[in-house]
Structure 1
Amino acid sequence: MSRLPFYAIVGLLLIAGIAMSVHRHLQFEIPWLPGEQRQVWEVEAMINFNAQDGPVEVDFSLPSHQQGFRVLTENTASSGYGLAYHADEFGRRAQWTIREAAGSQQLYYSAQILVSPEAQMTSQTAPELPPETPWERPYDTAATEVIEQAWARSADNATFARELIRDVNGDRQGENARLLLTQFESTELLVRLLNQAGVKARAISGLMLEDGRRRQTLSNWIQVFSDNEDQWWLFHPKSGEQGKPENLLLWETGGQAILEVQGGTNSRVTFSMLTHSQPASAAVRNHLSDDTLLNFSIHSLPLEEQALFQTILLIPIGALMVVLLRVLVGIKTSGTFMPVLIALAFIQTSLSTGLVGFLLVVSVGLVIRNYLSYLNLLLVARVSAVIITVIAIISVFSVLAYRVGLNAGLTITFFPMIILAWTIERMSILWEEEGPKEVLMQGGGSLATAVLAFLAMNNPVVRHITFNFLGVQFILMALILILGNYTGYRLLELRRFKPITDDEPKP
């Protein structure tokens, strides 16, 4: 029979698992190792204005995901106000409304901003060129001369913007530029001159992030688009510096007003900021809660279910350890996957407490099961009696541990009681049929396998990877399928050939 379909399935599982894991690491910034730290900025905007004893509507621009930064969480404090969020081609905005307000008003908006080198800004739509507004004399002649001089020294839209900024605000500032600046603010003038020359540009606002700063304001920047609008550049309107500084958080990128207040006067907004580091897994948790099908993850579930799946997802690791030890090493166990369930109990109880509890319960259970064998009970009744016995043993040990002050002994209740009952029943039958040696071999093999599975499952790196990268489950499935086709000798079987090597003549 052809093995091609089998190898095709294994290959698809490996490719799917690796692709899903790499995708989550690159696209959603899930770290490969636990304990990695990420820088997070806490930014707070405080809006102040005087209400005019009537209805008030406040419209405020909000930051979005962009190159170098990702918005994690947002919160507002606005007692008595209604709040709604809006998003369009110009960006995101928050709108506060109230039917009646008077006097000084304060609204707060805070956001957690993750420093993310992999984050990219959404595509920017170039603004339409505004209708040309005629200049008054003599500003029309001055504007034309400034545009012509910068155009002659440029090669494209980016270099034209750079030369124009130098002519208006730089060391080449001439009489024409100084004349224009007497009537227009610098950024407004530059955008108008760029648009007059047929270059699509707009003024946007950004916040320079500096740790511990308070009452900061937004700074103006100029966004210039290429001829085919597939590329844009950022310029500082004063220095002409091109490019986005690493600590610049673009706040408003649609060329709209930062703050608009209807029904109030003397409106202003100031910003405060702090930075701190936190574990990477916690920093991106809120982002992962909005998973799509391609980013399927446990983070979209409630926290209670997340905690449950964090343990469930470790079971394939234990299953892989059992397959390795049984197929390649040849260790005998009492039950196929009983060691995995015992290892899960060890995770809840700790290894030392779990080992002592397991040995006590099984030992006492075997003694009682030996007595039950003399009663000639049917199998179902005998196993049921063993289950009740196991529950009674665990209850007695828990009470005794509590009475003597050993609180760790209370965790023995995490042991799978049904599995323990079947283990005692199986070992008792094995004792009768094969003798105590076989019982010790299978019991010791089960305990050794459970300990090794516990060490693998309880490893912090393994717990982190299995919980955050569901593609690992496909990889584990592929590895188990490959091991399932192994037909060679087991390591413990090689001792059968030892007499042959002993009889060989020594050189």
Structure 2
Amino acid sequence: MRSLTMHLKIIITILLVLGVSILSYQIFVLKTPLTEKEVDNLWTIDARVNFEVKGSKPVNIEFYIPPKGGDYTVSNELFLASGYGQNITNLPYNRQVTWSARSVSGQQTLFYRLNLTKRYSDATANNIKGDMWRSPISVVGAKKDAVERLVKEIRSKSANISSFITTTINIINDPNNSDVQLILNGNNSLENRVNAIELVLSHAYIPIQLVHTLQLSKSTNQNLNLWIRSYIEPSKSIDNRDSTINGSNGNWYYFNPSNGDIGLPDDQMVWWIGNDDIIKADNASRARVNFSLANSELTAIHLAKLTPDSNNLTEYSFYTLPITTQLAYQVMLMIPFGVLMILLLRNIIGVNTLGTFTPVLIALAFRETGLIFGLVFFSIIVFFGLLLRSYLEHLKLQMLPRLSVVLTFVVMLIIFTGLLSHKLGFEQGLSVSLFPMVILTMTIERLSITWEERGANFALKVALGTLITASLAYGIMGFKPLIYWVFTFPSILLILISFMLAMGRYRGYRLLELFRFQAMLK
């Protein structure tokens, strides 16, 4: 007996752990939405590329487009370039589209549109390791002396790579520093200051990359923002950087070149990385890019279907099935919860019902008719069925002929009730034909037998308990948030089974029995 109990506990534990593990994986790894109405922002970005071709010439346009992976996921892309050939190249940190045409002339316009979402992003997907060392940029004369003085000053004010970069940015942005002004040579533009930052950091053997970002805000004409980033290994100081280290467990750190702030804001998405221009045009002039942004809200499940990178969420889920099959599965998956309701009411509370799962079948019929109409029609059919069953009992018929007569009478009652309700204007009554006729027949038969064996009072209690149980089962089986949860997270059924197994060893008093034996306790 002890080994059997241990065996049961092991099964319950395995099912519980397995169910919770799968559920946690869906929520925290696949980022499956917890509610059906949960929405996410879907950003639509239009890039309009304009250029001019003088005469009739072959044209080759190279245009950087956002890399896949990272903080934002590209859910959809659209290229509009009529008359142009198109090729997409995956680079170490970027993607680039190349449009080419043999002969074009005049003003040309090409379009690129993409949709972005953050829900199904993977920040580690595009986390390519960066260099941990670089050679100094060549510089001579007074500018070289100024750079060396700045490196010495910055090293004394910083303790690690991150603080060295931040200090460098702050010093380069100081208008009163004579060495900085010597390096800038009167050009205080952001691009020139970034070049100065790269120059100083190179003499400390610190590599950086230029990052061009787009701010996710509604706009019709937006310019790209300039950031810098560096691949930094934890616990690395400036003095112990090793040229042979390629960063086994480092991370990219982003810096604002205007004020030294660390970290890329959530509303900034990386468009491309590097020192090159966003667009390169051969045999074309006045090439420029205009960005327009808009956002909309979609339900997270709909968004998952639109996002290729989230296929691991939908590929093996019920959402890939045809709609009619999905609706049928939703009903099937809720049956165990109706059964759970019966289990609680019978074993814990002590409610008597006709049969074990008859209330669940009745609850399924209530899904078609509605609860109120279902209760009325059920009561009418069972009432008249009991009258017929009582009359047939006096004829001393065998069970099979008696059940056949009752079944035929039930069919006639269903048809008559449906027609009568239709004439009275109650269209829900037409759904009464979906009642399981055999279940109604067996309900009448068993209720009649209970009446004969246990008396009218007990039979009415059983009938009332059946209707109450069926009503509660109908309520839980039709609860839309629960339907969504079970359909989206079917591993909940494993947790449900473990609970049912645990209840299988319950031998205590039922709640109604406490009132029944209250006098004995006194």
> What's the TM-score once normalised by structure 2's chain length?
0.78
- Cα separation, 1, equivalents of 2:343 and 2:146: 83
User: Does the CA-based 8 Å contact 2:136-2:205 persist in structure 1?
Assistant: no
* Partner-residue secondary structure (3-state), 2:337: helix
**Offset from partner CA, 1:164-186 (integer Å, 9 cap, x none):** 22333334543322229589744
Matched, 1:209 2:216: yes
* Partner-residue secondary structure (3-state), 1:462: helix
- Cα separation, 2, equivalents of 1:74 and 1:149: 49
User: Does the CA-based 8 Å contact 1:288-1:299 persist in structure 2?
Assistant: no
Aligned to 2:377: 357
Cα shift at 1:163:
2.5
Matched, 1:199 2:199: no
Aligned to 2:181: 175
CA 1:293–1:251 in 2, change beyond 3 Å: closer, same or farther? closer
1:335-346 equivalent positions in 2, closer than 5 A = 335-346=355-366
User: Does the CA-based 8 Å contact 2:47-2:289 persist in structure 1?
Assistant: yes
Out of 104, 107, 111, the residue aligned to residue 107 of structure 1 is 111
1:269-418 equivalent positions in 2, closer than 5 A = 269-275=289-295, 290=310, 292=312, 297-367=317-387, 374=395, 376=397, 379=400, 390-418=410-438
Aligned to 1:40: 41
CA 1:407–1:82 in 2, change beyond 3 Å: closer, same or farther? farther
Unaligned runs of 5+ in 1: none
**Offset from partner CA, 1:84-142 (integer Å, 9 cap, x none):** 776564255666677876652231313142479x9744434214867766457776555
Cα shift at 1:78:
2.3
Alignment-mate amino acid for residue 17 of structure 1:
G
Alignment-mate amino acid for residue 178 of structure 1:
L
Cα shift at 1:303:
4.3
Out of 243, 267, 281, the residue aligned to residue 263 of structure 2 is 243
Cα shift at 1:188:
4.3
User: Does the CA-based 8 Å contact 2:63-2:279 persist in structure 1?
Assistant: yes
User: Does the CA-based 8 Å contact 2:34-2:485 persist in structure 1?
Assistant: yes
1:72-91 equivalent positions in 2, closer than 5 A = 73-76=75-78, 78=80, 80=82, 89-91=92-94
Aligned to 2:230: 224
> What's the TM-score once normalised by structure 1's chain length?
0.81
Alignment-mate amino acid for residue 205 of structure 2:
G
User: Does the CA-based 8 Å contact 1:72-1:284 persist in structure 2?
Assistant: no
- Cα separation, 2, equivalents of 1:34 and 1:208: 29
Cα shift at 1:475:
1.7
Alignment-mate amino acid for residue 326 of structure 1:
R
Matched, 1:157 2:177: no
Cα shift at 1:391:
4.7
* Partner-residue secondary structure (3-state), 1:214: strand
Cα shift at 1:471:
3.1
Alignment-mate amino acid for residue 271 of structure 2:
W
Q: Identify which range, 473-482 or 421-430, moves more after superposition.
A: 421-430
* Partner-residue secondary structure (3-state), 1:167: helix
Out of 428, 442, 450, the residue aligned to residue 462 of structure 2 is 442
CA 1:443–1:27 in 2, change beyond 3 Å: closer, same or farther? same
Aligned to 1:187: 194
Alignment-mate amino acid for residue 341 of structure 2:
M
CA 1:46–1:312 in 2, change beyond 3 Å: closer, same or farther? same
Alignment-mate amino acid for residue 225 of structure 1:
Y
Out of 20, 23, 34, the residue aligned to residue 21 of structure 1 is 23
User: Does the CA-based 8 Å contact 2:51-2:109 persist in structure 1?
Assistant: yes
- Cα separation, 2, equivalents of 1:392 and 1:97: 76
Aligned to 1:477: 497
- Cα separation, 2, equivalents of 1:331 and 1:323: 10
Alignment-mate amino acid for residue 42 of structure 1:
W
Cα shift at 1:488:
2.2
User: Does the CA-based 8 Å contact 1:365-1:390 persist in structure 2?
Assistant: yes
Alignment-mate amino acid for residue 157 of structure 1:
I
Percentage of matched positions with identical amino acids = 26
- Cα separation, 2, equivalents of 1:301 and 1:196: 60
- Cα separation, 1, equivalents of 2:504 and 2:275: 62
Cα shift at 1:485:
0.9
- Cα separation, 2, equivalents of 1:447 and 1:434: 19
Alignment-mate amino acid for residue 243 of structure 1:
G
Cα shift at 1:401:
3.2
**Offset from partner CA, 1:236-263 (integer Å, 9 cap, x none):** 1223222222322233357776455667
Query: CA RMSD, aligned part only?
Result: 4.1
* Partner-residue secondary structure (3-state), 1:307: helix
User: Does the CA-based 8 Å contact 2:16-2:494 persist in structure 1?
Assistant: yes
User: Does the CA-based 8 Å contact 1:72-1:286 persist in structure 2?
Assistant: no
Cα shift at 1:44:
1.4
* Partner-residue secondary structure (3-state), 1:21: helix
* Partner-residue secondary structure (3-state), 2:261: coil
Aligned to 1:125: 129
User: Does the CA-based 8 Å contact 1:199-1:225 persist in structure 2?
Assistant: no
CA 1:346–1:238 in 2, change beyond 3 Å: closer, same or farther? same
User: Does the CA-based 8 Å contact 1:207-1:218 persist in structure 2?
Assistant: yes
Cα shift at 1:427:
3.1
- Cα separation, 2, equivalents of 1:218 and 1:459: 48
- Cα separation, 1, equivalents of 2:102 and 2:405: 72
User: Does the CA-based 8 Å contact 1:17-1:473 persist in structure 2?
Assistant: yes
* Partner-residue secondary structure (3-state), 1:224: strand
User: Does the CA-based 8 Å contact 2:360-2:470 persist in structure 1?
Assistant: yes
User: Does the CA-based 8 Å contact 1:366-1:428 persist in structure 2?
Assistant: yes
User: Does the CA-based 8 Å contact 2:208-2:230 persist in structure 1?
Assistant: yes
